[in-house]
């Protein structure tokens, strides 16, 4: 490494670490201000409260790493340009590309660290944080209930909404309960009023409802509906004790709790289900026509070719197999099942009998189409998260391309330039990222739309670099105000 490269990297190290710490601290303080009151009021020990905010830090760091790169580049390059060091380098025959090279290499290193951090550390911390929030929500459920909000009383099972809640007596008015505990049925209970009380052992809760109606839906058959009215109904909610019980065996993971390889496997499964549902819908539609003339039903082709894993996941699997010891598997003795006499011939006779055409309905075709769309939406969610991890990590390089020419063209911008330009770029970048994620989740745009902010800022950076490289050797003097005055006067 040359003296110039070491000098530039040394100048950037301090501002980068300071910006990373400052931005992370500000966002963490914002998180503490929003959640501290709810956590303290539930009687939690301080170790749990500290753990909640400690687990929030990885998500914040994943967002502030690209921000810190931009702040460091703007601050250091504007100071070098203001002290005429950039002018001296260019007068000595050192091109702008030579100055940019070590910064791009450093940005590439930060991008690799950010990507590995978001792929391996961030999903684990998000999973532990979600599990901890669920454990906290089940402690003192009466305290955590909020008016005009759908409250999760039991995780993924029971939800409650009340228009008015009396915190002294736990009296509820205009109550709605969503019971999703059963796999094939769901219930929605509407009641005029009620009250919530804990059992003497503080383990379970009793919800007494008055003057209401209960709706039951069959998830497998949308046409099945049952309505029952009641004057008084008792709902028992188990496992909502006052004691904080930590969940240790939570195997469910959302898209933000998975690594890239896990999400790729989920995408392959979803695409397989989508292809099978689409083929079954086509086969069901054709069978409805051929059944009219007495022909046998059309069978759907279930052979679906799956896409191979990405190169990153293949390399990661090879390294994991090399670093970790192989798993030991017990070899069970083979089990021989005796065949019954006549079973094979009976199966053959049944297979030769003519099959009656199935009673196909249009609802079956729509059910297959709905399952195909749900699989497509699920695959899109995972693909969006995969592209977001790559795009945010690549932003470390993109912000170097944008920050260097802006800092050189405005050498005396000072802290105002650093803060103003950083906030503007952050706002535009993350608004574009959030908008692209929303469009892709609704299938209104492909998942790679999350790369559009990177493409735009890369193009802007390359244009500014070209204009800065072809400009005069000395950068224009004066700050932003002087530049604006000169432009208005036409000088």
Q: What's the pLDDT score for residue 143? A: 57
Q: 121 burial class (0-12, 13-18, 19+ CB within 10 angstroms)?
A: middle
Going by pLDDT thresholds of 50, 70 and 90, the confidence category of residue 46 is confident
Per-residue pLDDT for 82 more than 70? yes
Structure confidence at residue 90 (pLDDT): 79
The DSSP symbol for 243 reads S
Instruction: Tell whether the model's pLDDT for residue 245 goes beyond 80.
Output: no
Name residue 158's beta-bridge partners.
154, 179
What's the pLDDT tens digit per position in 274-326?
888 888 887 777 776 666 666 565 565 666 667 788 888 888 888 766 655 55
Residue 116: per-residue pLDDT: 92
How large is the average pLDDT for residues 267-276? 88
Confidence band of 122 (pLDDT split at 50, 70, 90):
very high
Whole-number Å distance between alpha carbons of 327 and 368: 39
pLDDT tops 80 at residue 342: no
pLDDT at residue 210, rounded to an integer:
93
Q: CA distances (Å), 303 to each of 17, 288, 368, 439, in order?
A: 53, 22, 17, 32
Per-residue pLDDT tens digits for 149-167? 888 777 678 888 999 988 7
Which tens digits make up the pLDDT trace of 420-444? Answer: 899 999 999 999 999 999 999 888 8
pLDDT exceeds cutoff 50 at 339? no
Which contacts of 284-291 are long-range, i.e. CB under 8 A and separated by 24 or more positions? 284/360, 284/364, 284/365, 284/368, 285/365, 287/357, 287/358, 287/360, 288/360, 288/365, 290/357, 291/357, 291/358, 291/360
Which of 199, 188, 209 lies closest to 240 in space, CA to CA? 199
Helices (H) and strands (E) in the chain — how many of each? Answer: 13, 6
Please compute the mean of the pLDDT values over residues 119-127 and round it to a whole number.
91
DSSP state of 237: E
Q: How many CA atoms lie within 13 A of 172 on its CB side?
A: 28
**pLDDT at position 184, please?**
73
pLDDT over 70 percentage in the chain: 77
Are 232 and 214 contacting, i.e. CB atoms less than 8 angstroms apart? no
27 against 244, higher pLDDT: 27
Give the pLDDT of residue 323.
53
* 302 φ/ψ angles, rounded to the nearest 5 degrees: -100, 5
What is 124-190 written as a DSSP string? Answer: HHHHHHHHHHHHHHTSSHHHH--TTS-EEEETTTEEEEEEEE-TTT-EEEEEEEEE--SSSEEEEEE
Per-residue model confidence as pLDDT tens digits over 351-374: 444 444 444 456 777 888 888 888
Query: What is the per-residue pLDDT for 301?
Result: 60
pLDDT above 60 for 473 = no
Mean pLDDT of 329-358: 46
Of the candidate ranges 70-79, 242-251, 310-319, 460-469, the one whose mean pLDDT is the lowest? 242-251
This model's pTM is above 0.85: no
pLDDT band at 45 (very low <50, low <70, confident <90, very high): confident
pLDDT reading at 344 higher than 60 = no
| Per-residue model confidence (pLDDT) at position 330 | 44
- Assess whether pLDDT exceeds 80 at residue 169: no
Decide: residue 348, CB within 10 A, 0-12 exposed, 13-18 middle, 19+ buried: exposed
Strands 151-154, 158-165: parallel, antiparallel or unpaired by DSSP?
A: antiparallel
- Mean pLDDT (the chain) is 80
Q: In this predicted structure, what is the pLDDT of residue 425?
A: 92
**Residue spans of alpha helices (H) in 83-137:** 85-91, 96-116, 122-137
pLDDT of the residue at 134: 79
Q: Please check whether residue 118 is in contact with residue 389, taking contact to mean a CB–CB distance below 8 angstroms.
A: yes
């Amino acid at each position: 490494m040359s003296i110039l490269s070491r000098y530039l990297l040394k100048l950037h190290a301090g501002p980068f670490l300071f910006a990373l710490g400052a931005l992370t601290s500000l966002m963490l303080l914002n998180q503490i201000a929003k959640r501290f009151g709810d956590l303290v009021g539930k009687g939690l020990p301080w170790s749990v409260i500290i753990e909640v905010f400690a687990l929030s830090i990885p998500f914040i760091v994943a967002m502030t790493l690209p921000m810190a790169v931009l702040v460091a580049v703007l601050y250091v390059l504007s100071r070098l340009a203001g002290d005429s060091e950039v002018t001296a380098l260019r007068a000595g025959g050192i091109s702008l590309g030579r100055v940019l090279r070590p910064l791009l290499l450093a940005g590439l290193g930060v991008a690799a660290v950010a990507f590995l951090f978001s792929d391996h550390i961030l999903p684990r911390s998000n999973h532990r944080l979600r599990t901890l929030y669920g454990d906290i929500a089940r402690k003192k459920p009466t305290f955590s209930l909020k008016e005009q909000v759908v409250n999760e009383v039991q995780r993924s099972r029971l939800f409650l909404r009340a228009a008015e809640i009396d915190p002294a007596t736990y009296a509820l008015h205009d109550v709605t309960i969503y019971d999703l505990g059963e796999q094939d049925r769901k219930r929605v209970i509407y009641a005029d009023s009620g009250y919530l009380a804990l059992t003497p052992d503080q383990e379970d809760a009793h919800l007494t409802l008055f003057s209401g109606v209960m709706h039951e839906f069959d998830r497998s058959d949308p046409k099945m509906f049952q309505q029952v009215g009641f004057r008084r109904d008792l709902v028992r909610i188990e496992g909502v004790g006052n004691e904080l019980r930590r969940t240790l065996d939570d195997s469910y993971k959302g898209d933000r709790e998975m690594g890239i390889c896990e999400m790729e496997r989920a995408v392959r499964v979803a695409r397989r289900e989508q292809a099978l549902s689409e083929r079954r819908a086509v086969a069901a539609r054709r069978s409805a026509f051929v059944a009219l003339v007495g022909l046998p039903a059309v069978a759907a082709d279930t052979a679906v070719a799956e896409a191979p894993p990405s190169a990153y996941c293949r390399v990661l699997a090879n390294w994991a197999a090399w670093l970790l010891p192989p798993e030991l598997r017990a070899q069970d003795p083979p089990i021989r099942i005796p065949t019954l006499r006549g079973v094979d011939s009976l199966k053959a006779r049944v297979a030769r009998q003519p099959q009656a055409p199935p009673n196909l309905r249009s609802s079956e075709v729509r059910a297959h189409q709905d399952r195909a769309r749900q699989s497509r939406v699920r695959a899109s969610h995972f693909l969006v998260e995969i592209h977001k991890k790559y795009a945010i990590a690549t932003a470390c390089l993109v912000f170097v391309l944008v920050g260097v020419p802006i800092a050189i063209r405005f050498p005396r911008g000072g802290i105002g330039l650093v803060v103003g330009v950083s906030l503007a770029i952050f706002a535009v970048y993350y608004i574009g990222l959030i908008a692209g994620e929303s469009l892709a989740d609704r299938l209104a745009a492909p998942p790679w739309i999350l790369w559009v902010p990177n493409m735009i800022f890369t193009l802007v950076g390359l244009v500014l670099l070209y204009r800065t490289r072809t400009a005069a050797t000395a950068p224009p003097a004066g700050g932003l105000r002087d530049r604006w005055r000169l432009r208005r006067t036409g000088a």
